[in-house]
């Protein structure tokens, strides 16, 4: 087991390094084609600003395609960095891509107006006379601006996820409107040489992957497994457990700790897919989730009709036993964050195991009875910290640190699941207690 634990982070690191290298190589090759086509040939120093605008557009295009690939649910990306890291990287990359789009549009507009002896406003109108592909590109950029504006933190906090997600789908319309001008107007592509085929291959691979893994695979799996809601159970703490049954569910290979994106095909439910962790290990015929009423989607699940068909994407995430690096393990959860950790207790972890629970009180702790029973079965120690939160991550009545609770903390992997601010405090405490960064595991479900 020691060799496996030592090699797991190295394997993931290799995948991550490969993905980053691929991004740099694709960008470098794209810029090299631009240079080879004479993109840096200039008559005056000002011409370099026009070239810079074109390079900004090239790199922005590569970043947008990488964004699409990151959220395409491709298995090798999911296994390498996990869904939460892929989603957060997608968001950060989007900000950089949008800035580069602004640079591209601004410099091309200003320099073209300079060459044609117009002011920028007149040049913007003049673009409409050069062909349909430039007006559509302008409309596409306008849609990108709408998506960027609604993605600002101050706006997202005021919006429901469902509203934000609907507007975010405009990205795909924007890309469809912008791409034609690249192939028709870009001088690098006019000869339909290697650069043309290089970019065509990039777009086909990118959007082909999105189509296969985001659309076709879920539909094929829905037909193959036929998941339906078979049981809806209200829990004493106010949460709801929903059981889905189907055919050969074990072939989904869902691991304890993973989550899936669930779309319930009933009126009022089908428009949005929501991420919920499995709250018990998958068996041959069923999957279970447990949901707290924290938003419109999760609240409505308490009334989901039995027999509703379910479309599921996944399993997703690397919040599993497979990322273990140490002989022992600590599960730290707050509230409904216990669900993936409770599932992991179904397969007793190797080595010493401690479970740390935070909740306002025992009555408000989801699945507490199940956790206690499973912990007894696998000889795990449960630490229950109830009451209002103190200055740190523990309760005001029982202030403590992970090191105080688990003396051999440095020999443990720490799995954390709960509200972001609280989980940040737990992670900081684990690092202070000597836990290696690669031995701390989290799953983030925020839609930032």
Give the domain range for residue 409.
Answer: 321-442
What's the pLDDT score for residue 3? 40
What's the pLDDT score for residue 1? 43
**Does one domain contain both 246 and 342?**
no
Tell me the CA distances in angstroms from 154 to 139, 151, 159, 295, 345, one per residue in order.
Answer: 25, 8, 9, 19, 39
**Does one domain contain both 295 and 328?**
no
What's the pLDDT score for residue 413? 94
In this structure, what token pair is assigned to residue 73?
Answer: 């649910």
Asked if the structure places residue 237 within a domain, the reply is yes
Asked if the structure places residue 447 within a domain, the reply is no
Asked if the structure places residue 448 within a domain, the reply is no
Does pTM surpass 0.85? no
CATH number of the CATH domain containing 417: 3.40.50.80
- Measured distance CA(61)–CA(389) in Å, rounded: 46
What's the pLDDT score for residue 161? 65
Instruction: Find the length of the chain.
Output: 448
pLDDT tens figures, 193-236: 788 888 889 999 999 999 999 889 888 888 888 899 999 999 98
- Measured distance CA(445)–CA(87) in Å, rounded: 9
**Checking DSSP bridges between strand 440-442 and strand 412-417, what pairing results, if any?**
parallel
**Does one domain contain both 422 and 302?**
no
pLDDT tens figures, 79-114: 777 777 787 788 888 889 999 999 999 999 999 998
Asked if the structure places residue 253 within a domain, the reply is yes
- Measured distance CA(39)–CA(294) in Å, rounded: 53
**Does one domain contain both 298 and 328?**
no
Tell me the CA distances in angstroms from 23 to 28, 81, 171, one per residue in order.
Answer: 9, 15, 20
What's the pLDDT score for residue 8? 54
Instruction: List the alpha helices (DSSP H) in 117-259.
Output: 120-126, 133-150, 153-156, 161-168, 170-185, 194-210, 217-225
- Which among 174, 168, 22, 203 has a CA at the least distance from the CA of 91? 168
pLDDT tens figures, 48-78: 898 899 899 989 999 999 888 888 888 877 7
Q: Is the pLDDT of residue 182 over 90?
A: no
Q: Which of 300, 316, 332 is the last residue of a domain?
A: 316
Cβ–Cβ under 8 Å, residues 325 and 5: yes
Lowest mean pLDDT among 172-186, 276-290, 334-348: 172-186
Q: Is the pLDDT of residue 4 over 70?
A: no
How crowded is residue 83: how many other Cβ atoms within 10 Å of its Cβ?
Answer: 26
| Number of structural domains found in the chain | 3
**Does one domain contain both 151 and 247?**
no
Q: Is the pLDDT of residue 441 over 70?
A: yes
**Does one domain contain both 208 and 247?**
no
**Does one domain contain both 356 and 250?**
no
pLDDT tens figures, 291-331: 988 766 677 888 899 999 999 888 888 888 888 889 999 99
The beta strand positions in 252-370, using DSSP E, are: 259-264, 274-277, 286-291, 310-316, 328-334, 353-359
Q: Is the pLDDT of residue 250 over 70?
A: yes
Q: Which of 173, 203, 221 is the last residue of a domain?
A: 221
Q: Which of 193, 221, 249 is the last residue of a domain?
A: 221
Asked if the structure places residue 133 within a domain, the reply is yes
285-301 in b/e form (b: 16+ CB < 10 A) is eebbbbbbeeeebbebb
What's the pLDDT score for residue 2? 42
**Does one domain contain both 178 and 307?**
no
Instruction: List the alpha helices (DSSP H) in 186-276.
Output: 194-210, 217-225
Location of structure tokens 């410099």: 107
Cβ–Cβ under 8 Å, residues 278 and 256: yes
Asked if the structure places residue 55 within a domain, the reply is yes
Beta bridge partners of 231: 243
What's the pLDDT score for residue 159? 65
CATH number of the CATH domain containing 308: 2.40.30.10
């Amino acid at each position: 087991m020691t060799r496996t634990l030592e090699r797991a982070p190295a394997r993931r690191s290799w995948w991550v390094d490969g993905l980053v290298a691929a991004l740099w190589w694709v960008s470098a090759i794209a810029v090299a084609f631009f240079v080879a086509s004479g993109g840096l040939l200039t008559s005056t120093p000002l011409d370099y600003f026009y070239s810079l605008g074109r390079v900004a557009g090239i790199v922005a295009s590569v970043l947008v395609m990488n964004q699409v690939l990151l959220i395409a649910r491709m298995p090798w990306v999911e296994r390498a960095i996990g869904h939460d890291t892929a989603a957060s990287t997608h968001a950060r990359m989007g900000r950089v891509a949008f800035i580069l789009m602004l640079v591209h549009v601004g410099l091309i507009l200003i320099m073209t107006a300079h060459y044609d002896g117009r002011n920028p406003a007149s040049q913007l109108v003049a673009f409409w006379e050069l062909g349909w592909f430039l007006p559509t590109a302008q409309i596409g950029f306008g849609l990108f601006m709408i998506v960027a504006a609604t993605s600002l933190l101050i706006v997202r906090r005021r919006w429901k996820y469902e509203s934000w997600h609907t507007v975010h789908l405009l990205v795909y319309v924007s890309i469809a409107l912008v791409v034609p001008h690249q192939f028709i107007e870009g001088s690098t592509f006019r000869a339909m040489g290697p650069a043309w085929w290089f970019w065509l291959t990039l777009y086909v691979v990118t959007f082909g992957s999105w189509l296969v893994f985001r659309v076709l695979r879920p539909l094929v799996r829905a037909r193959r497994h036929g998941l339906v809601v078979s049981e809806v159970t209200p829990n004493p703490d106010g949460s709801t457990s929903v059981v889905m049954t189907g055919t050969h569910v074990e072939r989904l290979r869902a691991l304890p700790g993973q989550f899936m994106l669930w779309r319930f095909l009933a009126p009022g439910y089908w428009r949005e897919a929501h991420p919920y962790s499995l709250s018990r290990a998958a068996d041959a015929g069923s999957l279970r989730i447990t949901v707290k009423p924290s938003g419109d989607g999760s609240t409505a699940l308490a009334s989901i009709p039995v027999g509703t068909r379910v479309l599921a994407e996944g399993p997703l995430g690397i919040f599993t036993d497979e990322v273990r690096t140490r002989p022992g393990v600590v599960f730290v959860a707050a509230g409904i964050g216990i669900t993936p950790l409770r599932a992991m207790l179904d397969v007793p972890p190797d080595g010493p195991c401690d479970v740390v629970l935070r909740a306002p009180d025992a009555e408000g702790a989801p699945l507490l009875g199940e956790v206690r029973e499973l912990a007894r079965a696998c000889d795990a120690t449960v630490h229950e910290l109830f009451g209002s939160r103190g200055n740190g991550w523990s309760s005001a009545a029982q202030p403590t640190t992970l090191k105080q609770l688990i003396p051999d903390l440095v020999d443990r992997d720490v799995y954390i699941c709960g509200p972001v601010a609280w989980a940040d405090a737990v992670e900081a405490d684990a690092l202070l207690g000597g836990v290696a960064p690669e031995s701390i595991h989290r799953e983030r479900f925020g839609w930032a």
